[in-house]
A and B are shown apart, each in its own frame.
Chain A
Amino acid sequence: AQSVTQLGSHVSVSEGALVLLRCNYSSSVPPYLFWYVQYPNQGLQLLLKYTSAATLVKGINGFEAEFKKSETSFHLTKPSAHMSDAAEYFCAVSDNTDKLIFGTGTRLQVFP
């Protein structure tokens, strides 16, 4: 069965600092991996996805994630945090079916 684990339910960074949100996956087949963001009172929005084309995936708003098969990881990074990045971030995996399997989410706080 597929699953994802997000380490850290809350992450706090200063504005301008590196953002690192961790995600590890478990999958018996080559996975599709996703990062979604949820701003207050809004739906989940796709940040980026990995579909086996390239291990470093660039997404919207300056975020990127690197697929590391040896570590079964798909961590999300951004070199410099902005106040507007404060939100909940969800990692998800799919096994080529319709359903997405999500992690528990990480709430990112950005301090001035």
Chain B
Amino acid sequence: EPEVTQTPSHQVTQMGQEVILRCVPISNHLYFYWYRQILGQKVEFLVSFYNNEISEKSEIFDDQFSVERPDGSNFTLKIRSTKLEDSAMYFCASSEGAGPVYEQYFGPGTRLTVT
């Protein structure tokens, strides 16, 4: 069964460093998402992406964050200058279409630890 994959599973970085989290969505999906979960808190929506553009983003997704689909298979989340409060589990998801009628398929997550 097709699945969303994410690499790395765990990333440790120092404050101020740039990180890139990678995701490979399901191949025929057109809509892509990033969510994050700070330990002990809710899973929070960050951004949705379609047709090489951001469709929607949350207040969390400030100028330090960017997303890109650099080729036909990868979908990346970049944090330019990491802060301690960026430590979280980051989930990538993809779906065939837009809106809640279409299931979002989630990857296993990347645990980002900022020291």
Q: Is the CB of A101 within 8 A of B100?
A: no
0 or 1 for each of B71-115: is its CB under 8 Å from A? (1 = yes): 000000000000000000001010000111101111111000000
Q: Is the CB of A105 within 8 A of B43?
A: yes
Q: Which of A39-47, A63-71, A74-82 contacts B (4 or more CB under 8 A)?
A: A39-47
Let me know if B68 is at the binding interface, CB within 8 A: no
- Neighbour of A98 across the interface among B4, B31, B41, CB < 8 A: B31
- Neighbour of A32 across the interface among B4, B33, B100, CB < 8 A: B100
Q: Is the CB of B45 within 8 A of A43?
A: no
CA separation between A36 and B91, bound complex, in Å?
Answer: 13
Q: Which residues of A contact B103 (CB under 8 A)?
A: 46, 49
**Chain B residue at smallest Cβ distance from A102:** B43
CA separation between A64 and B101, bound complex, in Å?
Answer: 18
Q: Which residues of A contact B93 (CB under 8 A)?
A: 43-44
- Neighbour of B43 across the interface among A45, A46, A90, CB < 8 A: A90
Contact status of A104 and B55, CB under 8 A, knowing A44-B106, A99-B48: no
Q: Which residues of B contact A105 (CB under 8 A)?
A: 42-43
Q: Is the CB of A99 within 8 A of B3?
A: no
0 or 1 for each of A80-112: is its CB under 8 Å from B? (1 = yes): 000000000010101011111111110000000
Let me know if B18 is at the binding interface, CB within 8 A: no
Let me know if A12 is at the binding interface, CB within 8 A: no
Q: Which residues of B contact A104 (CB under 8 A)?
A: 40-42
Contact status of A97 and B43, CB under 8 A, knowing A43-B108, A51-B100: no
CA separation between A97 and B33, bound complex, in Å?
Answer: 12
CA separation between A104 and B44, bound complex, in Å?
Answer: 10
CA separation between A31 and B86, bound complex, in Å?
Answer: 30
CA separation between A96 and B106, bound complex, in Å?
Answer: 19
Interface contacts beyond A51-B101, A98-B99, A100-B35: sample of 7 additional A-B pairs, CB < 8 Å, sorted by A? A44-B43, A46-B103, A46-B104, A94-B99, A99-B48, A100-B45, A104-B40
- What residues of chain A have their CB less than 8 Å away from a CB belonging to chain B? 32, 34, 36, 41-46, 49, 51, 90, 92, 94, 96-105
